[in-house]
Structure formats: structure tokens, C-alpha cells
Amino acid sequence: MFEFRERDGLARIGTMETRHGRVTTPALLPVVNPNRPIIPPTDLANRFHAEILITNAYILGRGPHRDSVLRQGVHEFLGFSGAVMTDSGAFQSHVYGDVNVTNAEVIDFQKRIGADLGTMLDVFSEPSHDRARATKDVDETIRRAREADSLREDMALVGAVQGGLHTDLRERCAQEVSTLGVSVCAIGGVVPLLESYRFQDLVRVIIASKKGLDPSKPVHLFGAGHPLVFPLAALLGCDLFDSASYAKYARDGRMLFSDGTRHAAELRESGCPCPVCSDHPMKDISQNETLLAEHNLHVCFAAIREVRRAIAHGDLWELVERRARAHPALLVSLRELRLHNEFLEEFEPVDRRGALYYVGPETAHRPILHRFRHRLLERYQSPPAKGLLVLPEHRRPFMEGYAPVLARVMASADVHAVVKSIWGPVPVELDQVWPMAQSVVPDSLELESLEAADVFFREWAAGAGYPFGLLWEGDSSLEELRARAPGNRTVDWNASRVRATADYQFGRGAAEALLRGTISYVISKNTGKVRNVVVDGDHVLSLRAEDGLFTLKAAGAQRLHGAFQAPRLRVVIESDAVPFVREGKNVFAKFVREADPELRPGDESLVVSPDDELCAVAQSSMNRREMLAFKRGVAAHVREGVPPLPSALPH
């Protein structure tokens, strides 16, 4: 069973339960070679705090230790009381061309030695395999996954996803395998990609697989043991990694670092803060395979901890973009991500703690910014005006810096104002919406970012319906604005901010539904900003200072519920859960029947009964796919329960 508590991108900090304890993900599983354990499993537990390790059932079953493992069980044999995953020999078939075992035999052996997670014998798809070959191997892998499921009894099973570079086969294999009784889904066949730094292909393979996988199951990336790829792979939703690299590289005298690999013999200092590098001179380390392996493992575990830190803090994208500078192949893979924004955006939380930092021209293509531009096109309604004033990128929040300009222009020209920002067009009244006010961008921009900003701007401006747009170049622009858009404009900025934000956040038409009636605002004494929106005496919305988005109140939820047809903004729960949710209890994923496919983690949602009666207003913590898949965890945190209407009460 798997449950998560924090998320960022497709990454999650979760717990996976095993018969030998809980494992926190993302997790690194050090590979223990039973014939050559360079770091003893007791040390893995005590010195490296490994909660889980992986060893190879195929090697154990054929080697000299077969009888003792069968007699003692794998935990006692290894001297490790944490969780043990075993692999099946599929990788050996990739290396040696064939293996001398059947799927049924290797499942049986893993059961007998007491593996906490046992792996089916998948058919390794090489990246070079053509469609026909990959199809045949995927079909056989699916057949064996079914067979393994029927044989596993109470052993938790790892199902493998193959399909080479054929994305549709990957997706199909993932879909079929994750419908079975598997506890972990593993993406296989990627070692050749990792070994040759084909990270762009790796991205395509992981995303295609993730599209087919059940999001409630932890995902293992087979053979990914270099810290260079952990941030990227975790961002794309891989929860478990296994590393033989720490030992293999040590054998070759090489040291792993989070930004690459170096030959120990060529280093006078490693620059690494791990205990090995702190306590030993480089010349001792470089000649000692065990010290090298220990350093490598320290670095790998530290890299995993750094990923977890970034997930919890909400800056995993930044880490990935920064780490991508370590190798050109990673940079190429980073540029691949924008092609998958439609899928990635589904999982992207609506906001996060702290600011969004510009890292490079790739930053503008992050899903959160893709979403902003997309919602602007789909949801934002441009106010009528005779023209468009285009303001250049500026100190944020834009409205603060530009207030004097706006006052001067609008006194004598009827124009609407939009900032042509590095992230895309930002109507000035939306300047507080996360991450528009909360981003840190350079004062001067390189050509690629400027060109992208231009493209983003044109995409929006073409449909915005203004007869002209004029770029503000200082007071010299005033005359032309007056000539082309004669008149003036008085804007109630509070009202326009509230309207635009409501449509942006809840969908076009939301402002109309939420704000019909007599409106008043509660203004914060500290900031002068709108805090609460009251309509006809009802508190309908609160505007959050941190992210410029609304918290929906019950009265607001009622208005949206009346105006928007199902499934919009809805989380539909089972009848049994209705009374609890009405009392303010959270919505657990296992009680969710349906949900709006447009809901994103962090979005405000309407919790409704199967008959579409409003039961609560909540903040969702999952998207629809996840709500329907998870049997554990909270799908939406209820902000306020809504009692039944008097007419719906039993008489």
C-alpha cells in the first residue's frame, strides 16, 4: 500500500508499506550482489539508514548460496531486517541473451525466500527493437505479469513495463500491468538509455509509461542509480531507484557526484562533504574500492534526500533545471519536457511555498506557466477598451511599479493594460496570481526568453479583440495612445482584480455567478489589499495574500454550484460519506466516485452527493485520475461542510 503526503511535479513524498517496515519515497534501493557484497547489508541499514535494498533472486537461486537462502530466508541470509526487493533475472537476459529460469520458477523462489517485493520475469525490450519485436515482447511481458499475479499468493509483486522506445506500447503495457494485483510498477529496459546518456529518450519512455500506469502505485525505475538522473526521474513520477552504480563505479575507481562522474585518481580533492571524503585523504580513497563505494553510496542517498527536500519545499522544477546544466544530454531532455505539458500540467499543484526562480529559458515552459497562459486564453475575459497598452517586463508585482503610468495613461486614453512578461501576457489585474508576483527573474533577458515572450504574447493578443496594441516606451507613447484611443478609463481595481481572478481560477462565468448582487470588500489594514469578498451580505470568497488566489466559502460554493453544471468543479462522493463530509470531515480518495477532470491539486472544489447536492467546499489534493485510483489518503481537504437543504431533510 502506498500513500503520499507531499507532491511536486509528478513526484511525491510517500510511504510504501512492506512486511518489513515502511519505506519513505523517493527511495534508493542499494543493490546487494550476493556473491560480492562490497558494503555489508548491516552497514546499509546502520550506517546508511537504508530502509530497503534490492538483490537478485536469479543469482541467488543459481549460486552456491541457494540452499542457505532457502533455509534462512533472504532477510536472515543477508542480515538485513528492513524491506527486501528481489529482481528476477530479466536484466541478466539483457546482458547474456538468455536466462535459464521460467517466470513461474522465479516467482516461486522469491516466495520461498520471503522477498517483501518479488519481481516477475519480464522480457527486456532493447531500445533498438523494432515495433514488431517490441510488440511481441510486450505481449509476453503482459502474459507473464498475469501469470505472476496468479502465482504470487501473499507476496507483493513488482510488475514490469517494457516496450522499448515505442511510446504507445509502453502506455499499453503500463495500463495492462497496473490493472493487475501488483504493488509496484517498474519501468524496465532503460539501462541502455542511462548508460549512453540518452536522457531525452528516457523522458519519453517514462512519460509514456506514466500515462498508462495507475497513479496510486509506486513506480520503480529499474537500473537508475546515478544521482544525476534522480531529480528528473522523480519529477516525472518515479518513486524508487536501484543503484548498482555505487559498486560498479567503485570497481573502476570512479566517484559519483550529483553533477556527474569523476576518476578518483585524477582528483586531488573531491569537494564532497560525505564522511569518507571528510575523514580520508584522496590518495587513500582512490585506492580503496570500499571507500569509493561508500562515498558513492553517501552521494546517492544524499541526492535522494535532496530530491525529497525539494518536493517538500516545492522547488523540484528548479532543482531539475539547475541539474540539467551538468550535462548537455540532460539539457536536451529538459527541453523535451515542454512537449508533454498537457500531461504534466494535470499533476502540477496550483501554488507552492516561496518564489519561483528563473533558472534559464526553459523555465518559461514549466507546466505552471503553461497553465497560466492556457487559462488566460480559455478563461479570462478581456474588458472592452479601444486599445491595448502593452507594458514591458518590470519589477513585480507589476501593478505597484506601473500604477503611476496607468493613472496617467488612463486619464486620457481608453486602453486596457497587459504586461508582456517573460512568462507570457499578464493582464495587470492578475498580477498577484501565483507565480506572477512571486517570481524572481533577471533584470536583463537573453534572446531566447524574449522571443518566447513574444510568441506567448501574440498567441493571446490575436484573440483578445483589441483594434491595436502599443508597447509602452515612456511618455513618448502617451500622445499616440491618446490619438488612437481617445477617452478615458476609470477602473475599480479591486473589482476588476476580483472578477478576473474568479474567472481565471474557477472558469469563465465564475465571476458572474459569484459576484451577482451588492458587493463589498473587507480590505486588509496592513496591505490595503482585498481580503474578503461579501455579496448581498454573504462572505463568498477570501483572497489569499500568499498566492493571489481565492479560498472559496460555502456561500460562494453554493453560487458556483448553481451556475455550473456537473462535472465542473465537482468531487462526487459515495452516499455513505455524505454525512461525514457535511460535518466537515475530509474527503478520502476511496469515497470518490467521480471528479472534474479539470481539477488540479490545490484547486477549490465542490464536494457533492451522487445526486449533485452540495455537501462541502474543499481544497483538492489530487487530480481526477488520482482521486479515482487511490484507496488511501485524502482526496480533498474540506474547508466547510454544507448542511442539507431544509427541503431535503427527512420529514
Residues catalogued as catalytic: 87
Residues from 351 through 410 that contact ligand GUN (CB under 6 A): none
- Between 104 and 274, name the residue whose CB sits nearer to Zn ion: 274
Which one of the spans 118-126, 325-333, 401-409, 509-517 is the region binding ligand GUN (CB under 6 A)? 118-126
How many other CB atoms are there within 10 angstroms of residue 507's CB atom? 20
Type and span of the H or E element at 639: strand 634-641
Residues from 291 through 330 that contact Zn ion (CB under 5 A): 295
User: Cα separation of 73 and 599, whole Å?
Assistant: 47
Q: Which does 119 bind (CB under 5 to 8 A by kind): ligand GUN, Zn ion, none?
A: ligand GUN
Burial of 637-649, coded b for 16+ CB within 10 Å and e otherwise, reads ebbebbeeeeeee
Give the nearest distance from C-beta 221 to Zn ion in angstroms.
24
| Residues 6+ away with beta carbon under 8 Å from 263 | 253, 254, 255
Residues from 205 through 234 that contact Zn ion (CB under 5 A): none
By the rule CB under 6 A, 350 interacts with ligand GUN:
no
Q: Which does 191 bind (CB under 5 to 8 A by kind): ligand GUN, Zn ion, none?
A: ligand GUN
- Between 189 and 367, name the residue whose CB sits nearer to ligand GUN: 189
- Between 93 and 449, name the residue whose CB sits nearer to ligand GUN: 93
By the rule CB under 6 A, 222 interacts with ligand GUN:
yes
By the rule CB under 6 A, 30 interacts with ligand GUN:
no
| Residues 6+ away with beta carbon under 8 Å from 270 | 255, 257, 262, 264, 277, 282, 285, 295
Type and span of the H or E element at 447: helix 447-464
How many other CB atoms are there within 10 angstroms of residue 120's CB atom? 28
Residues from 260 through 289 that contact Zn ion (CB under 5 A): 272, 274, 276-277
In angstroms, how far is the first alpha carbon of the chain from the final one? Answer: 43
The torsion region of residue 647 among left (phi > 0), alpha (psi -120 to 50) and beta comes to alpha
Which one of the spans 14-22, 186-194, 523-531, 546-554 is the region binding ligand GUN (CB under 6 A)? 186-194
User: Cα separation of 97 and 83, whole Å?
Assistant: 30
- Between 165 and 291, name the residue whose CB sits nearer to Zn ion: 291
# chain residues binding ligand GUN, by CB under 6 A: 13
User: Cα separation of 358 and 354, whole Å?
Assistant: 13
- Out of 43, 122, 176, 321, point to the residue binding ligand GUN (CB under 6 A): 122
- Out of 77, 91, 241, 460, point to the residue binding ligand GUN (CB under 6 A): 91
* Contact yes or no for 113/70 (Cβ under 8 A): yes
By the rule CB under 6 A, 188 interacts with ligand GUN:
yes
Enumerate the H helices of 213-364 as residue ranges. 230-235, 245-251, 275-279, 282-286, 289-313, 316-323, 328-337, 341-345
Give the nearest distance from C-beta 264 to Zn ion in angstroms.
10
Give the nearest distance from C-beta 225 to ligand GUN in angstroms.
10
By the rule CB under 6 A, 124 interacts with ligand GUN:
yes
Q: Which does 223 bind (CB under 5 to 8 A by kind): Zn ion, ligand GUN, none?
A: ligand GUN
Q: Which does 272 bind (CB under 5 to 8 A by kind): ligand GUN, Zn ion, none?
A: Zn ion
C-alpha cell of residue 359: 533558472
Which one of the spans 76-84, 117-125, 431-439, 549-557 is the region binding ligand GUN (CB under 6 A)? 117-125
- Between 43 and 318, name the residue whose CB sits nearer to Zn ion: 43
- Out of 90, 240, 337, 638, point to the residue binding ligand GUN (CB under 6 A): 90
By the rule CB under 6 A, 189 interacts with ligand GUN:
yes
Which one of the spans 9-17, 87-95, 209-217, 250-258 is the region binding ligand GUN (CB under 6 A)? 87-95
Ranges of beta strands (E only) in 134-259 are 156-161, 184-187, 219-221, 240-243, 254-257
By the rule CB under 6 A, 87 interacts with ligand GUN:
yes
User: Cα separation of 310 and 186, whole Å?
Assistant: 23
Type and span of the H or E element at 559: helix 554-563
Which one of the spans 38-46, 83-91, 322-330, 553-561 is the region binding ligand GUN (CB under 6 A)? 83-91
Q: Which does 90 bind (CB under 5 to 8 A by kind): ligand GUN, Zn ion, none?
A: ligand GUN
Ranges of beta strands (E only) in 494-633 are 519-523, 530-535, 538-543, 550-552, 570-573, 587-588, 592-595, 604-608, 614-620
- Between 164 and 602, name the residue whose CB sits nearer to ligand GUN: 164
Footprint on this chain of ligand GUN (rule: CB under 6 A): 87-88, 90-91, 119, 122, 124, 160, 188-189, 191, 222-223
Footprint on this chain of Zn ion (rule: CB under 5 A): 272, 274, 276-277, 295
